[in-house]
A and B are shown apart, each in its own frame.
Chain A
Amino acid sequence: MEIEPAKKYIYSDIELDREEGQVIEDLKAQSQQPIPDPDQWLDEELEQNILLTSVDALINWGRRSSLWTAICFPACCAFEMIAANGPRFDLARFGMEILRASPRQADLMITAGTLTWKMAPNVRRIYNQMAEPKWVIAMGACAISGGIFASAEYAVVPGYNRIIPVDVYVPGCPPRPEALIYGIQMLQKKIARRKNIDVRKILER
């Protein structure tokens, strides 16, 4: 009779490889349609109470003035991102010089670079690990549509919005740091419009 070894070898890299490959294939099958624009609800104007508006304004001011970025810089755009953090463009002026290695401490993801199907599950996981509320800026042509690599369909995801919802698109290959800063300001304006307290629910009560 063969005796089962009490403990299996801690890991077999072939098994790990297969498991990871399966995750990628599953995500690829799920994400053939882009995620719809998350901004649609913004068009519905709401009557607002004065007090509630000021609370919103305070919360939004706090949120938009200290956007911390999660590290997710796969490719070329990362260097323009770092240049924007660097001495000349100095993103610290906008309260966001800190790059957080841990997604749990971040609320903004700047997707600087081409996304491949192999990378997609990891990006999705980072996005899921970020605490709410969270925003995403798609930086560069690759992040928007796959860019010049879009025709390498076997490896490249045509845009981050297949995987995660995107708030602001910054075009360019790569975008200049000024363009990125403009994109961040657009996001800040968007956050300023955000309604944290649902007025209708309170009125119904």
Chain B
Amino acid sequence: MAVRTEPFVLNMGPVHPSTHGVFRMRVTLDGEVVVDIEPVFGYLHRGIEKLAEQRTYTGVIPLTDRLDYISSMSNNLAYCLAAEKLAGIKVPERAEYIRVIMSELQRVAALLIAVGAFLNDCGAYFTPFLYMFRERERIVDLFEMASGQRLTYNYMRVGGVSQDLPEEFMPALRKFMDMMPRFMDEYDQLLMQNEILLARAKGVGILSKEQAINCSISGPVLRASGVKWDIRQADPYSIYDRFDFDIPTQTTGDCYDRYRQRVEETRQSLRIIRQAMEQLPSGPVRAEVPHLVRPPVGEAYAHIEAPKGELGFYLVSDNSIAPYRCHIRPPSLINLTALRDMVRGWKIADLIIIFGSIDITVGEIDR
């Protein structure tokens, strides 16, 4: 005899240990099975797009730091590319290489956190997170040498970077590059064949290729579904066309694939950093840009492959010192579009894992 149950509404968040910040869901459950979810956003809506309209082109950079606060360098890069495209500024060679090194290091740091937080959601409370933080601290040290900050770097400028690398940076980076592959192997040894991880993540929350494209999913989540689309290769920005790297893809598009995707992308990032280190030229790090940039009337959209997906800035200029409109294309928000279809029919414990495998930052969702 089947037991009939009534749908039951459960509130999750905004303060919940596994909603990665202040994300909230209204989950409708039938027993333990998720029938429907309704994501509720806005608990961190800080009006960044509005504030950007009142600031100069350089003054927007600190705001971009606080968008996706675990990958500030990528945000800086995306904004600076858009502003340079708008104003027609050419960036010196050395600055381009420094930007690539920084944004790839940032990708490693952000993907470490993504993997750590995902395992945290799988039930390994805090232990893997602490492992990942051990390596992240080393990357943060490198950033601190260059920019003087640990989280909100504010390092890149329209037309280059704010200052040249200090002389102790390259030896420290070399040391880190020697250590990092060993750490990656250590994680793989611990996790790749882990029974619990396989049982919880394999085959859970499958996102099909067609749906991923239809929902405008980007980044590791899209590639885990088997779409070979990486903006670094599809639409190379900065100097990414000079490096030799692969775009790893997975086949199934389940939670385990998304985890593997992130680990493999980290290895590719290390490959890019190694090449950029070898080719790093000397010279100026900043183009001659006036204090108050006044781009001509027009609009520009520049996008990069941020750790979470396609991060883009759409700037509209009216030839004044402040952007007329600054729209941010947030990968975290758009990647969540598919969440509802991914979790339907799964148990509530799987909801946490599926949500964790998408990897979001609320600062970027709400802006």
A residues lining the B interface (CB < 8 Å) = 10-11, 13, 16, 71-76, 78-80, 82-83, 86-88, 99, 101, 113-114, 116, 118-119, 122-123, 126, 148-149, 151-152, 154-156, 173-174, 176
Contacts and interface: CB of A to CB of B under 8 A. Distances in A.
A86 B7 contact: no
Interface in B51-91: 51, 54, 62-63, 66, 69-70
A10 B46 contact: no
A73 B136 CA distance: 19
Contacts of A148: 51, 62-63, 66
6 contacts: A75-B21, A75-B66, A78-B21, A99-B17, A155-B45, A155-B47
Nearest to A90: B130
A122 B46 contact: no
Interface string B30-55: 00000000100011111110110010
A97 to B, nearest CB: 9
Contacts of B66: 75-76, 148
Interface stretch (B8-16, B182-190, B213-221, B305-313): B8-16
Contacts of B16: 71, 101
A16 B50 CA distance: 28
Contacts of B50: 152, 154
Query: Most chain-A CB neighbours within 10 Å: which of B8, B15, B69, B152?
Result: B15
Contact of B44 (A74, A80, A82): A74
Contacts of A173: 152
A173 B66 CA distance: 10
A171 B63 CA distance: 18
A4 B9 CA distance: 23
A195 to B, nearest CB: 32
A152 B130 contact: no
B266 to A, nearest CB: 19
Query: Most chain-A CB neighbours within 10 Å: which of B9, B22, B42, B152?
Result: B22
B174 interface: no
Nearest to A82: B133
Given A122-B14, A174-B152, A75 B9 contact: no
Contacts of B51: 148-149, 151-152
Interface of B: 6-9, 14-17, 21-22, 26, 38, 42-48, 50-51, 54, 62-63, 66, 69-70, 129-130, 133-134, 136-137, 140, 150-152, 362-363
Contacts of A126: 15
Contact of A16 (B8, B15, B26): B26
A113 B22 CA distance: 11
A93 to B, nearest CB: 15
A118 B150 contact: no
B47 A88 contact: no
10 smallest beta-carbon distances between A and B, as pairs: A152-B47, A76-B69, A86-B133, A149-B46, A101-B17, A119-B43, A74-B22, A87-B134, A155-B45, A88-B137
Contacts of A176: 150
Given A72-B15, A73-B21, A173-B152, 20 more contacts: A10-B7, A13-B38, A16-B26, A75-B66, A75-B363, A76-B66, A76-B69, A76-B151, A76-B363, A78-B21, A87-B134, A88-B137, A119-B14, A122-B14, A149-B46, A149-B47, A149-B48, A152-B47, A154-B47, A174-B151
Contacts of A113: 44
Contact of A119 (B38, B44, B129, B136): B44
Contacts of A151: 51, 54
B6 A10 contact: yes
Contacts of B363: 75-76
A86 B45 contact: no
A86 B152 contact: no
Contacts of B38: 13
A86 B17 contact: no
B151 A122 contact: no
Contacts of A72: 15
A70 B44 CA distance: 19
A122 B133 contact: no
Query: Most chain-A CB neighbours within 10 Å: which of B17, B46, B63, B150?
Result: B46
Contacts of A154: 47, 50
Contacts of A80: 150-151
Given A83-B133, A88-B137, A151-B51, A71 B44 contact: no
